[in-house]
Structure 1
Amino acid sequence: MGYRNTTECLNALEARGELVRIDKAVDARIEIGAIQRRVFQAGGPALLFNNVRGCRFPMAANIYGTRERMHFIFRDTVKMVERLMKLKLSPMEALKRPWKYFGAPKTAFHTMPKKVSDGPVMKNETKISRLPQLVSWPMDGGGYVTLPQVYTEDPFNPGVSGSNMGMYRVQLSGNDYVVDEEVGLHYQIHRGIGHHHARAIKKGEPLKVNVFVGGPPAMTMAAVMPLPEGLAELFFAGAMAGHRIPMVQRESGLPIPAQADFCICGTLSAHEKPEGPFGDHLGYYSLAHDFPVLKVDHVYHRDDAIWPFTTVGRPPQEDTMFGEFIHELTADLVPSVFSGVHEVHAVDAAGVHPLLLAVGSERYVPYAKDRQPQELLTNAMGLLGNTQTSLSKYVFIAAKEDMGAASCHDIPGFFKHMLERADLTRDLHFITRTTIDTLDYSGISLNQGSKLIFAAAGSVKRELGTSVPTGLKLPRGFRDARVFAPGILVVKGNKHRMKRDQQDAALERLGVTLETVKGLEKFPMIVVADDARFTARDWDNFLWVTFTRSDPATDMYGVGAFSNAKHWGAKTSVIIDARLKTYHAPPLEPDPEVEKQVDALGAKGGPLHGII
């Protein structure tokens, strides 16, 4: 059976030697987050901080910090959940191999929450100011909940079946929030809570919201699971937990998980206040913007409450493990959700939403002498029109018929495949002035920017270069050209000085100058960056810089660029301006003094010696 609360889970990890208790006094501001990130990067254990300055509650981190630990926590249920997902894909599978699904009815029973009249979480009440005030990065606007389970129900269809539970960040302190009475609730576009909030506004009443922290690990997993709209995350939590989730049903208000460590109960109106800044998973700060205010009514906690947390930043981080685990659970479902799509890869190193790699079918004209993207474009539009893939900014999609045994999870191989086959005069398709990820500051305004479908099909069209073309001379303002990968050049450019929604004439001149360079046809992709050496150091750097710092429509130029009947293309190479822009949010930088404190914990005699 799955773990029923945080303490059970941590005790099991400790018995396996995968938890370290830290009794030394630590600060929830900056220090504790820096420790968590360093231990995660080292592949280290879960952490339990028993002595948090100014706070009575212990804090736990890195619980989900390795793939092996994730599988251990959900070892009793993950296989059956995977089988049930495959059963959705192929209903006949149960008839062919019934022995594999003997536990399915029991798992289905566990999806239904169990109503109870009381539970450990209801034993005590406290105030927001007495909760752990985690501040992960130096410029963060206040204390945050970083592993919240934010629960709402449809105002017109109350009950679990119409509920949503998501992981939306919650700001506990700072800015203009009234102490102990208000907290900030930042939810991005295309999130289930948004539908509930809109319906509450339509009904003319505030939206009831409960924020759970801790409890069964399956609840945390369910909150990040990208389930189809209309399928309650609470049902999935029961399946992953291996037991019915006991929910305290009060006379008024939303249900509360009996085994949660904490629960913040409140209401959400249309009233907004500035929320942020906050160091986020793209590797930059998301700046202060107006978001809804949650009016706090109650804060409950159990006797032995522990505050689970994580910190987010430039990938990979602990939330990377959630993404990998979700992919394992859902990979076989991709063709059933996206017709014609065989495989997708939301690239973590690029911040997830900025770059999506995909493999689709190209069957529209099977008798053609050479394939060209046709069905692939339909596939890509499907990806941009459904679920979380709709937030993707760059979609690179290749034809399965050309791929053989290759996979879009082999990033170097996939880029090589794409760049060898793409027709740059034909295969670039832009969608301009559309919605993009709230956390992506590369667009023309908050939530607004462009998208690019980059499709490739058919035979190899070019040999890719592996050395800088002889005689390459860059115009003034550009230097340090270096080959990053076959067919990809990285060039250093001067500091960006343009305003939002403006293209840079210097990049256009670069494209014109390069038209006469012999051998450049072997480099269909050129990236201009602030630091060519850093960008070309490895794939993680290249992906992060290139795709988090560029908006396709604003920041793409070309060698031999042209526009015809509103279609843009390039005869030789595309140029991506991946410099930090004047309007971008600042990248996350650690505090050097705090890093020295963390070093001391890893020194001989310290609690993290041999770990970091």
Structure 2
Amino acid sequence: MGYRNLTDCVRDLERTGQLRRIDVELDGELEIAAVQRRVFQAGGPALLFTRVKGCAFPMLGNLFGTMQRTRFLFRDTLPLVQRLLAFKTDPAEWLKSPGSWPGALRGALHLLPRKVGGGPVIRCRTRIDKLPGLKSWPKDGGPFITLPQVYSESIAQPGWRHSNLGMYRVQLAGNRYRPNQEIGLHYQLHRGIGIHHAEALKRNQPLRVNIFVGGPPCLTVAAVMPLPEGMPELCFAGLLGGRRIALINRAGQLPMPAEADFCISGTIVPDKLLPEGPFGDHLGYYSLQHDFPVLAVDAVYHRPDAIWPFTSVGRPPQEDSVFGAFIHELTGPMIPELVPGVHAVHAVDAAGVHPLLLAIGSERYLPYETLRQPRELLTQANALLGTGQLSLAKYLLIVARQDAPRLNIHDVAAYLRHLLERVDWRRDLHFQTRTSIDTLDYSGPDLHQGSKVVIAAAGPPIRTLSTELPCDLSLPQGFSDPRLVVPGVLAIQAPPATVNRGQADPAVESFCAFFGPEHPIRQIPWVVLVDDSRFTASHLDHFLWVAFTRSDPATDLYGVDAGTKLKHWGCSGPLVLDARLKPHHPAPLEDDPATIKRIEAMAARGGPLHGIM
């Protein structure tokens, strides 16, 4: 049976040696987040900060910091959840393992929340300024809730059956919010709360929202789970948590989990937007200040023994990377059902998740064709870009399983090599321009706006990839230090970018025009222009982060001997990607040096943080 509440979870982790109490006073402004990030990178334990400067509530960090610990949290229910998902993917599994039916049916009973008249979460009340004020990065606009569970219901069909529980950024103070009366609610494209908000605006009615913090860990995971539209996250939380979620239902209020640690109740203010941010985000940069909805706070509840769980996001990998891996572990087998012919997908964490999506599909349209080329792959690519949050991908790379049945989609270097051996830049680039991209991605010509490219490769290899730099590799003036990242990918240091947002760069066009028909650079299929080629080529993860977070396909893809034929763009020479930081890009995240110096002193021998970071 899963945990009833977060306190039970903390006790269990402490009993099994997977949690460490930090009893020295630390500040929620920069210090606690910096410690959590360092301990995550070290593969360390969950952390209970018992003395938070200026705050009465303890803070829990790194709860989901390793896959081993995340699986441990749900050890009693994980096999059942996986079995039920397998049944949905392949109904024949019911016939193969009839002995699973009784357990599966009992588990399914946990899907339904149960109504209760009261519970621990409503026993105490406080104010917004009494909550832990976590500030993760120096330029953050204020304190944020980083593991919120934002609950809303359909105005047209109220009740939990038409509810949404999502993890949307919540700013507690700063900017122009009225202290203790207003907080910022940042939700992005393709989020369930947006449907409820649109309904409320259409009917000119206020939208009530509850923000839960804490409770059993299954609630946190449910809030980030990409469930099919129409399946309430509360149902999945009950299944994963091994018990029905107890919901307090009081007249005139939205329900709240009885065992949550905190609940902020309020109403989205109609026709009011206020600046929210900046905030250091999961792409590894600051998301800048923009207008987002405002929540007028009615009440702040908490249980007597409340614990405030948190995380700190930044350039991957971080704790939210474990969320992604865990979700893929649960939902990966369902991909072939969602998109027929697709065998596997991988949203690459090192590239910021949404910017780069790898896929392995099938190429079965013309089995008699002498030389296989992408046909069915393009159908599958379009379907993937219309499926849930996969639609936020900027770069979708897809290859045919028939060409390499054992290709491992999580071996990114091998995948890139397979694709680059087969891709034909004259044929295999397929763009979508002026479309929606991730709100947090600033590479496009405007907020929420950018482009996508599908790179589809199928058939036998058409080139051999060199594992060494070509000899006599001359470059235009200002371009220097060429370095091979992986076979077929060359990073070149370029002058700083200076052009305005959404415009082609004449310097890159001149770079492409420099190379004659016999130039040795033509031995390399993909050239990437960067600010620091040494850093970019030093590790594959560096390349993935630089190349795909700092570029927009329609703006930043160029080519040697490029041209357009029947509105199809391609190039016969190397593809050139401009992955430099542009003037409109936000700054990469950097720790505050003074903060790092303080916590490193605490980590020295004899210090309170020794041995965990």
Judge same fold: TM > 0.5, yes or no. yes
Q: Does 1:584 align with 2:600?
A: no
CA-CA distance at 1:518 after TM superposition: 3.5
Report SS of the residue matched to 1:572.
coil
> For each residue in 1:476-501, what CA deviation from the matched residue of structure 2 results, as whole angstroms up to 9, or x when unmatched?
12111111110110000010000011
Question: Please, which moves more after superposition, 508-517 or 115-124?
Answer: 508-517
Unaligned runs of 5+ in 2: none
2:334 — aligned with what? 333
Alignment pair present for 1:531 and 2:538: no
State the distance in 2 between where 1:441 and 1:101 align.
49
Q: RMSD of aligned C-alpha atoms?
A: 0.8
Q: Distance in 2 between matches of 1:270 and 1:38?
A: 41
Question: Which position in structure 2 is the counterpart of 1:387?
Answer: 388
Alignment match, 1:600: 601
Residues 134, 517 of structure 1: CA spacing in aligned structure 2 closer, same or farther, 3 A cutoff? farther
CA distance in 2, matches of 1:418, 1:511: 22
- Deviation, 1:4, is 1.2
Q: 5 Å matches for 1:183-582?
A: 183-268=183-268, 269-582=270-583
Distance in 2 separating the partners of 1:273 and 1:569: 43
CA contact (8 A) 1:83 1:101 kept: no
What is the CA–CA distance in structure 2 between the aligned matches of 1:218 and 1:507, rounded to whole Å?
49
Letter in 2 for 1:16: T
User: In the TM superposition, what is the alpha-carbon distance from 1:514 to its structure 2 partner?
Assistant: 2.2
CA contact (8 A) 1:30 1:135 kept: yes
Q: Secondary structure at the match of 1:515?
A: coil
TM-score (norm 2): 0.99
Q: How does 1:128-167 map to 2 (within 5 A)?
A: 128-167=128-167
**Paired residues for 1:77-88 under 5 Å:** 77-88=77-88
1:50 alignment partner in structure 2: 50
Q: Which amino acid aligns with 2:380?
A: N
One-letter identity of the residue aligned with 1:530: D
Query: How many pairs does the alignment contain?
Result: 612
470-479 vs 23-32, greater mean Cα deviation: 470-479
Native 8 Å contact 1:156 1:199 kept in 2: yes
Task: Give the distance between the partners of 2:100 and 2:512, measured in 1 at CA.
Answer: 59
| TM-score between both structures, scaled by the size of structure 1 | 0.99
CA contact (8 A) 1:472 1:517 kept: no
Q: Match of 2:283, as an amino acid?
A: L
Letter aligned with residue 148 of structure 1: P
Q: Distance in 2 between matches of 1:591 and 1:395?
A: 35
AA of the residue aligned to 1:493: A
CA distance in 2, matches of 1:69, 1:205: 43
1:543 is matched by which residue type in structure 2? L
Counterpart AA for 1:466: T
SS of corresponding position for 1:341: coil
Q: Is the 8 A contact 1:173 1:179 kept in 2?
A: yes
**What is residue 21 of structure 2 aligned with on the other side?**
21
| Offset, 1:502 | 0.4
What amino acid does structure 1 have at the position aligned with 2:248?
A: V
Deviations 1:418-476 (A, max 9, x none): 00000110000010000000000000000000000000000000011222211211111
Q: Measure how far apart 1:520 and its partner are.
A: 2.8
In structure 1, the residue corresponding to 2:528 is in which secondary structure? strand
Q: Distance in 2 between matches of 1:522 and 1:68?
A: 44
> 1:522: Cα distance to partner?
2.7
Q: Matched residue of 1:134: which SS? A: coil
2:2 aligned residue: 2
User: In the aligned structure 1, how far is the partner of 2:53 from the partner of 2:528?
Assistant: 46
Letter in 2 for 1:196: H
Indicate if the aligned counterparts of 1:558 and 1:573 stay in contact, CA closer than 8 A.
yes
Aligned partners of 1:583 and 1:123: how far apart in 2?
48
Q: Partners in 1 of 2:590 and 2:518 — Cα distance?
A: 39
- Letter of the structure 1 residue corresponding to residue 3 of structure 2: Y
Structure 1 gap segments, 5+ residues each: none
Q: Partner of 1:61 in structure 2?
A: 61
Query: Partners of 1:489 and 1:96 in 2: how far apart?
Result: 50
Distance 1:24 1:515 in 2: 65
- For the 8 Å contact 1:450–1:551, the answer to whether it is kept is yes
2: CA distance between counterparts of 1:88 and 1:170? Answer: 34
Distance 1:95 1:475 in 2: 66
Do the aligned partners of 1:80 and 1:101 also contact (CA within 8 Å) in 2? no
SS of 1:521's equivalent in the other structure is helix
Q: 1:70 corresponds to which residue?
A: 70
In 2: Cα distance, 1:600 partner to 1:239 partner: 44
Quickly say closer, same or farther: Cα 1:520–1:158, change in 2 above 3 A. Answer: same
Question: Aligned partners of 2:427, 2:509: CA distance in 1, in Å?
Answer: 20
Alpha-carbon shift at residue 517 of structure 1 (Å): 4.6
Partner SS for 2:343:
strand
Contact 2:473 2:520 in 1 (8 A): no
- Matched-pair identity in %: 57
Separation in 2, partners of 1:239, 1:594: 41
Counterpart contact for 1:469–1:518, Cα < 8 Å: no
